[in-house]
A and B are shown apart, each in its own frame.
Chain A
Amino acid sequence: MIHSISLTVNGVRREIELNDPRVTLLDLLRERLHLTGTKKGCDRGQCGACTILVDGKRINSCLALAVSHDGAEIVTIEGIARGEQLHPVQAAFVACDGFQCGFCTPGQIMSAIGLMCEGQAGDDPERIREGMSGNLCRCGAYAGIVDAVLEAQASQTEAKQRRSA
């Protein structure tokens, strides 16, 4: 049986026919839409490498069936920069050495964007560490990752203050 679904991926509406209901959002992004920025680490919801935003919220795309997400709005790592201009969180990861091998980085960045949207951590490093605990980094770049989130948070706060001033 074919299941037809419609997704908005990085602002582009996609009509997709699934001939297998077992396809996860992760595999759909990578294998069907060739958006390979989203990484498959553990494929079991433990490492966070597959983190994407679905309807504005960060989730593990490896544990989400595509067929169940008809109508969803998805943002992946490919959808956050504006042309050559990096997203502020991407820029902060570069500035703060928030990675080494880079495999977990797309998931870290999408998770950090989700964290900042949730607005629970603010500029408290302990709350940032807790809020990012679903993203493992086997190179151990955690200190740089926390610095990057702090820097991105600070530049977001500054931008907001500039706008309201």
Chain B
Amino acid sequence: MKMFDYVKPATPAEAVAAAAQPGAAYLAAGTNLLDLMKGGVSRPDRLVDVSHLPGLDRIEYLPDGGVRIGTLVSNAGLAHDTEFAKSYPAVAEALLSGASAQLRNAATVGGNLLQRTRCAYFYDTASRCNKREAGSGCDARVGENRLHAVIGWSESCIATHPSDFCVPLVALDAVVEIEGKNGRRELPLDELHRLPGDAPERDTVLAPGDLIVAVRLPSAARSFAAHARYLKVRERTSYAFAVVSAAAALQIENGKITEARLALGGVAAKPWRARAAEQVLEGAAPDAASFREAAQVALADAKPSGDNAFKIELARRVIARALSLAAAGTPARMPALPASPFASSSGALHA
């Protein structure tokens, strides 16, 4: 690991000033960053430790019915907050389907949003990677790429964003609060992550020094609590990243879907909100035919980036199944295997 200067600011404003310098990186729990630094993938000159900044580790239920999640709340702390899990069950399920218990105890909300891709070529410093080293090329394009992107990729990068948490968050219109050089601002989560285009080295729209201080869910997000699921297909039952995942949230009245939210994980460089599919669902009956149609629409613009055409059909089936699980109703208790297609809970119409 390359040597770095370690600084521990006392306030967010001090942190922003310290991290705006070239070569600086924020440290929260470090569960992703330290791994990248040990592998020589990230080589910061300065670590700005924000893990002790006061006031950023709280979950606040807002008077307007929304919730504000401090950036330093741990993944486990959020998922096991009784009120949070009851109000936003798909978010809790996504959190609990990610990583291991040890990592969830340490990893933070802000760190989860800003984690880097798990593309093996990004991790392997002997490979060419435009995300790790701008302009060096992309060995994934002609390499082992069955798990890579099928939506929104470019010739310069086919990596996916690995977060589970972000998928239901983007479906539920989460907003990111940012402290930067010019004070506070906020951004829809959907606008935080970038598609690669010709600059895949930039994962997000954040400027140097920008610090995520909180993530907010609007009051409408809790209206889906009765019909909200996260479904994640992975190559082993636990402790694995998504091959494809989906967050589905519905409001159903008198046998019709009145509101629908749908987002996909593991398919693009950002959590992928499927707005056109939501349009298909709104006003439709919650049945297999509407779910299949929504799934077709959601993947209409998908195309393989390599040996991964199967992910397109897999994504359609994951969507149809997630929607049928959501329609059947949020289970009273978190499934033993969160988000797993092998869970024993009933309600799935097999697509």
Q: A124 and B336: CB pair below 8 A?
A: yes
Chain B residues positioned under 8 Å from A1 (CB to CB):
5-6
| Stretch from B99-107, B147-155, B184-192, B220-228 that touches the partner | B99-107
The one of A44, A68, A134 that contacts B102, using a Cβ cutoff of 8 Å: A134
A22-B1 in contact given A60-B106, A65-B30, A68-B27 (Cβ < 8 Å):
yes
Chain A residues positioned under 8 Å from B3 (CB to CB):
20, 22
Chain A residues positioned under 8 Å from B337 (CB to CB):
126, 130
Number of A-B pairs, beta carbon distance below 8 Å: 98
Q: How far is the CB of A76 from chain B (nearest CB, A)?
A: 14
A60-B47 in contact given A21-B6, A45-B103 (Cβ < 8 Å):
no
Chain B 45-64, CB-CB to A under 8 Å as 1, else 0, gives 00101011000000000000
A24-B101 in contact given A59-B106, A68-B51 (Cβ < 8 Å):
no
The one of A22, A68, A134 that contacts B101, using a Cβ cutoff of 8 Å: A134
Which of B6, B27, B47, B49 neighbours the largest number of chain A CB atoms within 10 Å of its CB? B6
Q: How far is the CB of B4 from chain A (nearest CB, A)?
A: 7
Q: How far is the CB of A69 from chain B (nearest CB, A)?
A: 9
Chain B residues positioned under 8 Å from A51 (CB to CB):
102
C-alpha spacing A60/B107, complex, angstroms: 11
The one of B1, B5, B39, B336 that contacts A130, using a Cβ cutoff of 8 Å: B336
Q: A63 and B100: CB pair below 8 A?
A: no
Chain A 99-138, CB-CB to B under 8 Å as 1, else 0, gives 0000000000001001100101000101101111111000
C-alpha spacing A127/B344, complex, angstroms: 12
Chain B residues positioned under 8 Å from A20 (CB to CB):
3
Chain A residues positioned under 8 Å from B8 (CB to CB):
68
Q: A60 and B30: CB pair below 8 A?
A: no
User: Is B80's beta carbon under 8 Å from chain A?
Assistant: yes
Chain B residues positioned under 8 Å from A21 (CB to CB):
4-6, 47
Q: How far is the CB of B235 from chain A (nearest CB, A)?
A: 13
Chain B 1-40, CB-CB to A under 8 Å as 1, else 0, gives 1011110100000000000000000010111001100110
A133-B238 in contact given A60-B102, A126-B337 (Cβ < 8 Å):
yes
Q: B101 and A131: CB pair below 8 A?
A: yes
Contact residue range for chain B? Answer: 20 to 34
* 8 Å CB interface, B63-108 against A: 76, 80, 99-103, 105-106
User: Is A29's beta carbon under 8 Å from chain B?
Assistant: no
User: Is B310's beta carbon under 8 Å from chain A?
Assistant: no
Q: B34 and A115: CB pair below 8 A?
A: no
C-alpha spacing A45/B30, complex, angstroms: 11
- If over half of A's interface residues share one DSSP class (helix, strand or loop), that class is named, otherwise mixed; here it is mixed
Q: B29 and A64: CB pair below 8 A?
A: yes
C-alpha spacing A130/B338, complex, angstroms: 9
Q: B105 and A65: CB pair below 8 A?
A: no
Chain B residues positioned under 8 Å from A3 (CB to CB):
6
C-alpha spacing A131/B80, complex, angstroms: 13
C-alpha spacing A57/B29, complex, angstroms: 13
A134-B103 in contact given A44-B38, A120-B80, A124-B336 (Cβ < 8 Å):
yes
The one of A44, A57, A126 that contacts B35, using a Cβ cutoff of 8 Å: A44
A118-B6 in contact given A64-B30, A68-B30, A134-B239 (Cβ < 8 Å):
no
Chain B 252-264, CB-CB to A under 8 Å as 1, else 0, gives 0000000000000
Given pairs A3-B6, A63-B103, 5 additional interface contacts (CB within 8 A): A43-B38, A44-B38, A60-B103, A126-B336, A131-B101
A-B contact pairs, 20 of them (CB 8 A): A1-B5, A22-B1, A43-B38, A45-B102, A58-B102, A60-B102, A60-B106, A64-B106, A65-B49, A68-B8, A68-B27, A114-B102, A118-B80, A127-B336, A130-B238, A130-B336, A130-B338, A133-B239, A134-B101, A135-B100
